[in-house]
Structure 1
Amino acid sequence: MAKEEWFHHFRPEEKVLAERVLDWSILAEERYQSVLTPFLNPREQRVAQMLINRHSDLAITTDGGYEGAERQRMRINPPYVEDADHGLIYLDLEPAERDRDLRHPDVLGSLLGLGLKRDKLGDILPLQGRCQVIVAVELGDFIVSQLQRIGRHSVTVNRIDRGELTIPTISTETASVSVASLRLDAVLAEGFRLSRSRASAIIKNGQAQINWKSTENPAETVAEGDMISLRGFGRIQVWEKLGVSKKGRFLLNLIRYL
């Protein structure tokens, strides 16, 4: 299948990633190099796997530091190569004031403020009175020496072993809803119990993401399996489409992340 035909499977904004994945595949297949990718979110991992699986001789492994990690690095190996190193390092951030919690947005903002790219950062795990972060191994020394504050709080950064990670428990609930259409604003209104007009305004304000990509289009269509987040409200997933009611409304099962 031609490259252009494969790209029809992806959203327009995913074509840059698809091009990169094809380049990685060429390095592994034609130049016989083991390739370690940056951190990929779940949708990017899916795109990469779809494209790499076209090459039957290539082997893929992923690792984000713990089972169920959202952001993971992918190792693409050519035949007879078994490089299992995914280039991860684990950091523990502790505020000087012991009763202070470190929020995910503040930690991410401070790391990006050091000039780091998001694809060099894995999951950020906020805990009571501290935070743990998984990052690309080549950035470990830099972050330990340069990260001194998270927001207004002074922090100490220490390396820890993989086994010292504390994985927060993720709570979810399932909700069956009916929506007039599969527009983003309609689904978010039901998912977060908002009015349709408020959901639309929040989206236009740049606070929504579909599959980890920002959107300001309330009319964007959502599909089964899409992960949708709304800054300040949380995250839902369109788990399955159940059909259409007699009144023409779409019946959905949503997963709410609490």
Structure 2
Amino acid sequence: MSIYQHFRKEEHEFIDHVLEWKEEVQNQYSPKLTDFLDPREQEMVSAIIGKGNDVLVSFFGGVDWTERKRALLYPDYYTPTEEDYGVACYEIEYPQKFVTIEHPQILGSLMSLGLRRSKFGDITVGENVQLVVAKEIASYIEMNLESIGRAKVSLRPITAADLIHVEEAYIERSATVSSLRIDVVLAAIHNLSRQKVQPFISSGHVKVNWKVIEQPSFECQEGDVLSLRGHGRSKILTIDGKTKKDKWRISVGKQK
């Protein structure tokens, strides 16, 4: 039985990476640290590595509740410590009285430094703006991140214990859709027409489970986390079967 049949086609490339990591640990008999993984990728790594093997895996992103975490694959003799995960935490200091900065601006400024998204963990925007990064790029960010939007910023190192948890809140509601295509589902969630949603998809502004989806015909599944740029995040909580008119009943959560 092929491992690939349990996953979507667009996830097969990531599966290949995980199998390579596992083989590297087996061959070198030493730990392998990944970049930050989103929750779907963490789920896949856990499923592929499994339990009771000669290779084990654990995840860390600063504290237990972080969404994005680095994975450490290691031989069964090895006992990981927090240092092994190479995580650095910062508070972003800026003149809060005069300007506000938002998550997309922060991410855009970080990406403009020429770094991959996978080098950053959670970005938390609350009373304080906090950031988790891979330790190997920490000094580079400290030297080069000077502004976000119109705000001059500086980075103050903090410990993982200083990270503040901002709870993600969803508003639940039911919807009836003609199909489970991504354009149909997003149109229903955000009260938009399919014609308005489709350009977002073709422009790469829609993600399902943290991956860009560019086909309007992409079929959604229960548990999928959807992101539409400028409209926030939503989640398909349940797919409750079909109505007498052959439409799908779904329950969705929309981020507040």
Q: CA deviation at 1:55?
A: 6.6
TM-score by length of 1: 0.92
Equivalent in the alignment of 1:221: 219
Letter of the structure 2 residue corresponding to residue 101 of structure 1: T
The structure 1 residue matched to 2:247, chosen from 228, 249, 254, is 249
Letter of the structure 1 residue corresponding to residue 77 of structure 2: Y
Letter of the structure 1 residue corresponding to residue 213 of structure 2: T
Gaps of 5+ in 1: none
TM-score by length of 2: 0.92
Secondary structure at the aligned position of 1:102 is classed as: coil
After superposing the two structures, state which structure 1 stretch, 180-189 or 48-57, moved more. Answer: 48-57
Q: How many residues align?
A: 254
1:1-258 equivalences under 5 Å are: 1=1, 5-53=2-50, 56-85=53-82, 86-96=85-95, 98-128=97-127, 130-258=128-256
Percentage identity across aligned positions?
34
After superposing the two structures, state which structure 1 stretch, 46-55 or 183-192, moved more. Answer: 46-55
In 2, Cα distance between equivalents of 1:202 and 1:27: 39
Q: Is the CA contact (8 Å cut-off) linking 1:91 and 1:158 kept in structure 2? A: yes
Secondary structure at the aligned position of 1:76 is classed as: strand
Runs of 4+ deviating beyond 4 Å: none
Q: CA deviation at 1:202?
A: 3.0
In 2, Cα distance between equivalents of 1:185 and 1:113: 30
Letter of the structure 1 residue corresponding to residue 229 of structure 2: R
Q: Deviations over 1:3-45 (max 9, x none)?
A: xx22233333322221111111112223211111110011111
In 2, Cα distance between equivalents of 1:89 and 1:202: 34
In 2, Cα distance between equivalents of 1:83 and 1:68: 19
Q: CA deviation at 1:97?
A: 5.4
Q: CA deviation at 1:100?
A: 1.8
In 2, Cα distance between equivalents of 1:206 and 1:89: 30
Letter of the structure 2 residue corresponding to residue 233 of structure 1: H
Q: CA deviation at 1:56?
A: 2.0
